[in-house]
């Protein structure tokens, strides 16, 4: 696939934070993906551009989380996931529920216990995924919400001011499913977002808001500090990807070799385990050679300090 930007990706955490720091871009993205009427949006957290440790179990597991508040009071969490994670939906749902509980906790601390439920508004979520997680869904954009099992009517929350919202709404953009040449059937606005975050060439002239976001991917528009941080993050991500490819390849080769020699189910299991251990040790050596600290290697490979040394 020809990339619109060969050396930078819109899903890189530092770039994504810049993109979603723009209220107009964030509002339009939420409006078109979740089909909501929005006049304004406030970025509550997640748009700060700074160095930070990796928060997941592995580096680059999650690129960025952005929390935005709409003029209706609704909150939306946007998460970008660059690695395929088996239990991502579970974790994402927990993340939204946890934010809902945190909002209630804040009201209780302010002594507004009588308003806890009256002021409670739903927290929606949008996940931008580089790797698809719904193999049975052909569409690259899938939106889920709470509805009646028989007649399909929405389950609405009662909020202050007579505003009623669906209790939960989740949207998933699976970037690797989009293929413009195969005629992927999505609306024009969603097609632009898929092409933008998927780093595809635009199939038609992007609108003004997309162009505003696109300008943030041009290196000449970065500060020196941003350029240094982005260059370093790109280097680490490329090294990690190469290490993971080596790990998978060597694990499969070693497991197949041992299983072939022994020809037994036990041999296949032992081969997988031994191959995984040996490949992980090799990966640890490569990570150290590429500038990762011993502590980072321990976190990413689950090896002890003695095994690494």
pLDDT (tens digit, 0 to 9) for every residue of the chain, 309 residues total?
Answer: 688 998 888 988 888 888 988 899 999 999 999 998 888 888 887 544 333 333 444 444 444 578 888 887 888 988 877 666 778 899 889 888 888 888 888 878 877 666 677 777 888 999 999 889 998 999 999 999 999 999 999 998 876 666 788 889 999 999 999 986 566 688 899 999 999 999 999 999 999 999 999 999 998 988 898 888 888 877 777 776 677 677 667 666 666 665 556 554 555 455 556 656 766 777 777 777 766 677 767 666 667 777 777
pTM for this entry? 0.74
d(C-alpha 220, C-alpha 238), whole Å: 22
d(C-alpha 222, C-alpha 234), whole Å: 15
Mean pLDDT for the chain overall: 79
Q: What is the pLDDT of residue 61?
A: 46
pLDDT (tens digit per residue) in 245-304: 776 676 666 666 655 565 545 554 555 566 567 667 777 777 777 666 777 676 666 677
d(C-alpha 245, C-alpha 235), whole Å: 16
Q: What is the pLDDT of residue 211?
A: 95
Q: Going by C-beta distance under 8 Å and a sequence separation of 6 or more, which residues neighbour residue 12?
A: 63, 230, 233, 234, 237
Positive/negative CA dihedral, 8, 9, 14, 17: positive
1 by Cβ neighbours in 10 Å (0-12 / 13-18 / 19+) ranks as exposed
């Amino acid at each position: 696939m020809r990339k619109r930007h060969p050396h930078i990706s819109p899903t890189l955490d530092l770039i994504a934070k810049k993109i979603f720091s723009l209220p107009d871009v964030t509002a339009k993205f939420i409006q078109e993906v979740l089909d909501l009427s929005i006049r304004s949006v406030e970025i509550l957290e997640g748009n700060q551009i700074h160095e930070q440790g990796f928060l997941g179990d592995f580096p680059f597991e999650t690129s960025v989380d952005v929390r935005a508040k709409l003029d209706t009071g609704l909150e939306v969490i946007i998460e970008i996931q660059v690695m395929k994670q088996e239990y991502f939906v579970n974790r994402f749902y927990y993340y939204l529920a946890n934010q809902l509980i945190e909002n209630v906790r804040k009201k209780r601390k302010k002594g507004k216990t009588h308003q806890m439920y009256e002021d409670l508004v739903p927290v929606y979520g949008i996940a931008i995924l580089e790797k698809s997680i719904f193999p049975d869904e052909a569409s690259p954009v899938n939106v889920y919400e709470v509805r009646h099992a028989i007649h399909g009517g929405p389950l609405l929350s009662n909020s202050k001011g007579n505003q009623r919202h669906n209790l939960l709404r989740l949207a998933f953009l699976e970037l690797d499913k989009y293929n413009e040449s195969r005629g992927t059937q999505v609306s024009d606005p969603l097609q632009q977002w898929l092409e933008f975050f998927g780093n595809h060439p635009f199939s038609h002239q992007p609108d003004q808001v997309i162009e505003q976001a696109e300008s943030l991917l041009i290196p000449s528009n970065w500060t020196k500090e941003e350029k240094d941080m982005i260059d370093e993050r790109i280097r680490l991500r490329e090294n990690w990807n190469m290490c993971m490819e080596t790990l998978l390849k060597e694990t499969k080769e070693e497991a197949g070799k041992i299983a072939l020699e022994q020809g037994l189910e036990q041999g296949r299991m032992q081969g997988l385990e031994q191959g995984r251990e040996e490949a992980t040790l090799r990966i640890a050596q490569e990570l150290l050679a590429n500038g990762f600290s011993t502590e980072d290697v321990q976190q990413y490979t689950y090896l002890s300090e003695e095994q690494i040394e």
